[in-house]
Amino acid sequence: MADSTLTGIPVATGIAIGKAFFVNRNHMANLPRQIVAAEDMPAEIERLRAAFKSVETELAAIREQVPEELKSHGSLIDTHLMMLKDPKLAGASEKYIETLGLNAAWALEKAVSDQEATFEAIKDQYIRERMQDVRVVAEKVQTKLMGVKTDLSSISGRAIIMAHDLTPADTVELQVDKIMAFATVRGGKTSHTGIMARSLGIPALVGVGRLEEVHDGDLVIIDGLTGKIVINPTESELAEYNERAALFEDYTRKIRRHCHLPAETFDGSRVMVQANIELVEEVTAVLDNGGEGVGLYRTEYAYLNRTTLPTEEELAEKYIDLAAIMSPRKVVFRTLDLGSDKFIASYGELNETNPAMGLRAIRFCLKNPQLFKTQLRAILRASAYGNVSLMFPMISGVKEVRQAKAWLAQAKAELRREGVDYDPDMPIGTMIELPAAVMIAEFLAHEVDFFSIGTNDLIQYSIGVDRTNRHVSYLYQPLHPATLRAIKLVVDAAHQAGIEVSLCGEVASDPFCVPILLGMGIDSISMTPQAIPGIKRIIRQTNMHDCRLLLKDVLECRTVSRINNLVMDNIFKHFPEEVTFFSSLLENDELPS
């Protein structure tokens, strides 16, 4: 039997078998905590400032050495450079030196802990994970203060990288051709480690507990499908995983072979398969996986972990890059989906009991029109460089759409007067993610050019369940009859008004839910880039006649279990190779649902 088995969160799929190489072991366990005498405080503050400056200089140098394979990740390093230059973190640390007499490393730790306490109250997983960027930057400064040195370029052969955390700069310093997989203690599904691993096409796990049990040179298996790490596996375990790795590689090769072909059913029905992204750096993965556009570009990242608002120029530069790279493919920009609970410090705290249903998304933007108009101007400017669309999140009524369009019209008028190019016919859409929007879809359809159904929120709000709450997460059912009927209602309303409707969310990337969506007449679906080849394969193997028959039966079902049974019957009948693949690859012959 193997020495032990660890578990983590898979953020990049695949299986890797190789020797472990540990970098950046957690030096914070030995963080010095000392009280500084009053006369030594000025020197301690200078030491802190010097450490910040030194890390900034090092990162700037690394930024210039980004290899071609990771060229698009330069802006991730830019994010950390921006944090180092932001006076908020250093200023709070200096205050603790002056008022409490803490040594520099301890003072910085206290400042970061204060920020973490604020972020912990935020329910949104994506926003919470952005706090890790602050922690990473702080630990680089603390490592500098402690005099700890790490040599990330000393790997002698191909290895599986183990770390407490990995930053974009760490990955640049590593020799990418020698990296087989990543495993880190820190991180979440949207962390940089996952983004970089997916870009390199290697498996990765984050949030791994007890990673200290792994030692340099240990033979380890990284299972990016089930989230397992096997330390020093037995011969039988090695044989089993070698077989599974070969199976995964064969299937991946097969689905990628045709991933750049159109997503078209046997009987000629065309569906656009696009990607959801949050960083321009993910464009490489979109194109490599056959993505036909960006169906959802989340614009929140540029506003997080900072004390000042991004300027129009900052936003326009990123947006123009994305539009130009993807042109002539479509890019759909979602305007800010943030609230005061997760925004920059200058907007203060509203102390809302339930921020998820409070002043967020379009509500927040309409309450802060200057902020909103700055983003609208940046998106409009990007529309001159590519195939750009814009959509508003969390719409609950016609009035909100009209107010948002009025601000957009004002932004257009300003740019026109200034002689700045933009696409005057840029399509405008709304997210359909609230039950209220579903019920008035026929009204909303006459206000916009397209709908985008956000199933993750729609499921939560329509069923009344927080999927992150383990006590009720079992109620989060994508195939709930209410959810499917809501989607069908929206699709019908859109098509009756002559506009297109797309769907994003986890349902879109579930290969066994896709036939139901096709039967409804969804025009495009949007998902993580890595899911695109498999979904395209499913679409190309089916026909609309069968999809409509399945949908008819599904809409007559009264329970989730009955719908699941119909879906499984459809899988076994029409997709036998997928059944064989998943049952062989996943433990206990469990098919994904």
**Feature table: binding site for Mg(2+):** 433, 457
Per the CB < 8 A criterion, the answer to whether 452 and 337 are in contact is: no
CA gap 266, 518 in Å, rounded:
12
* Residue among 164, 192, 259, 480 flagged as catalytic: 192
3-class SS of residue 381:
helix
Nearest residue to 21 via CA among 175, 142, 147, 148: 175
- What are the C-alpha distances in Å from 385 to residues 364, 382, 389? 28, 5, 12
Element (H, E) at 443: helix 441-444
Residue 414, Cβ density class (10 Å: 0-12 exposed, 13-18 middle, ≥19 buried): middle
* Residue among 259, 504, 513, 547 flagged as catalytic: 504
Please state the three-class secondary structure of 546-576 as a single string: HHHHHHHHHHCCCCHHHHHHHHHHHHHHHCH
Given the DSSP bridges, would you call strands 9-12 and 15-23 parallel, antiparallel or unpaired? Answer: unpaired
Q: Residue 159 gets which letter from DSSP? A: E
Structure tokens at 408: 């957009």
CA gap 208, 497 in Å, rounded:
49
- What are the C-alpha distances in Å from 185 to residues 19, 440, 441, 451? 18, 45, 44, 39
Instruction: Say which residues have a Cβ less than 8 Å from residue 217's Cβ, sequence separation at least 6.
Output: 19, 20
Q: Edge-to-edge strands of the sheet including 15-23?
A: 4-7, 228-231, 219-223, 15-23, 159-163, 179-184, 204-206, 9-12
CA gap 316, 375 in Å, rounded:
8
Given the DSSP bridges, would you call strands 293-298 and 330-334 parallel, antiparallel or unpaired? Answer: parallel
CA gap 322, 115 in Å, rounded:
31
Instruction: Say which residues have a Cβ less than 8 Å from residue 471's Cβ, sequence separation at least 6.
Output: none
Element (H, E) at 51: helix 41-63
Is position 495 annotated as part of the catalytic site? no
Binding annotation: 298, 334, 433, 456-457, 467
Instruction: Say which residues have a Cβ less than 8 Å from residue 570's Cβ, sequence separation at least 6.
Output: 512, 515, 546, 550
Beta bridge partners, 243, equal none
Binding annotation for phosphoenolpyruvate: 298, 334, 456-457, 467
CA 262 to chain centre: 25
Per the CB < 8 A criterion, the answer to whether 588 and 251 are in contact is: no
3-class SS of residue 433:
coil
Residues with a known catalytic role: 192, 504
